[in-house]
Amino acid sequence: MEKINEKVNKYVPEIRGTLRDHMINVPRVIRESSGIKVFGKRIKSFAYTTDVAVIKNIDADAVFAVYPFTPQSVITEALVGASDIPVFCGVGGGLTMGKRVINLALNAEFTGAMGVVVNSPTSNKVIEAMSDSIDIPIIVTVVSEKDDIQKRIDAGVSILNVSAGKNTAALVKKIRSEFPEFPIMATGGRSEKEIVETIKAGANAISYTPPSTAELFKDTMEKYRNI
C-alpha cells in the first residue's frame, strides 16, 4: 500500500467565522491524551459547565454537565438541545437516590445524552439497576482510595471520573496500575503542568473548567468603558 505523506496527513485545515472567532479554547496539551471512544466518537476533552453560552462557544469534545442541585429533566433537555457536541449529564447519586436516579438516567438517554454521571455516594445496587435499564455509558466519580473500583466495574460502570483534588494524579496512577485498560477521565487542575501529570498518570481524557461568563466579560467591559 502506498504510504501517505506524513506532512499532508497531519495538517488540519481550520475554518473560523468573524463573529464566532472569539471562542474558549481548552488547553492544547489535553490533545496529548489518548481519548475515550464512545459510540465511535473519540473524546479527549470535557467542558465542565452547564452554561449554554459557554457550551456553544468552546472547542471541547463533549460537555460534562454536573451541577450541585437536584437533577431535573428540563435542564438535561435544554443542554442537549442547545449543544453541538455530546452531553454527559448528572443524574444524581448524592441527595437524589434510588429509583429517581434510574428514571432520570432513562430520561437522559431518551433526550439524547451520550452518557450519564453519578456522584460518589451512589450505591453499586443503583448503578447495577441503571446498567440494566440504559444503553449509554455510566460515569461514576471517584474521590479517594477508599472507593472499591472493582465493585464499581462489576456493577456496570463504563468510565471512572477521578476527582480527588490535589491527589487526582496520584489516584489515577494507582487505579491505572490495577486496571490497565479501563477508561479513566479526570479533572485537569489549574495549570497545564497538572494536566500533563494527570495524563502521564494514565487518564484517557480530561475535564476542563472554563472561565465563567463574568470572568470573560471583565476584559470586554473594560474595553467598552475606554471607548
Domain residue ranges of the chain, discontinuous segments joined by +: 25-225
Q: For the stretch 70-107, what's the b/e string if a residue is b when 16 or more beta carbons lie within 10 angstroms of its beta carbon? A: ebebebbbebbeebebbbbbbbbbbebeeeebbebbbb
Q: How does the average pLDDT of the chain come out, rounded?
A: 91
pLDDT at 98: 81
pLDDT at 173: 97
pLDDT at 175: 98
pLDDT at 21 over 70: no
Q: At what angle do helices 168-178 and 192-201 cross, to 10 degrees?
A: 20
Percent of the residues in the chain that have a pLDDT greater than 70, as a whole number: 93
pLDDT at 227: 72
Confidence of residue 45 (pLDDT cuts 50, 70, 90): very high
pLDDT at 8: 57
* Separation between Cα atoms, residue 10 and residue 178, nearest integer Å: 34
pLDDT at 216: 82
Class of domain 25-225: alpha beta
Interval 99-127 mean pLDDT:
95
Amino acid at 17: G
Report field, pTM of the whole predicted structure over 0.75: yes
Confidence of residue 102 (pLDDT cuts 50, 70, 90): very high
Is 45 exposed, middle or buried, given 0-12, 13-18 or 19+ CB atoms closer than 10 A?
buried
Confidence of residue 40 (pLDDT cuts 50, 70, 90): very high
pLDDT tens, residue by residue, 177-223: 999 999 999 998 778 999 999 999 999 999 999 988 888 888 778 77
Cell numbers representing residue 78 in the block: 435544554
pLDDT at 17: 73
Q: Which tops the pLDDT comparison, 23 or 7? A: 23
Q: Which residues, other chains included, contact 49 with Cβ-Cβ below 8 Å and sequence gap of 6+? A: 55, 58, 63, 64, 65, 209, 210
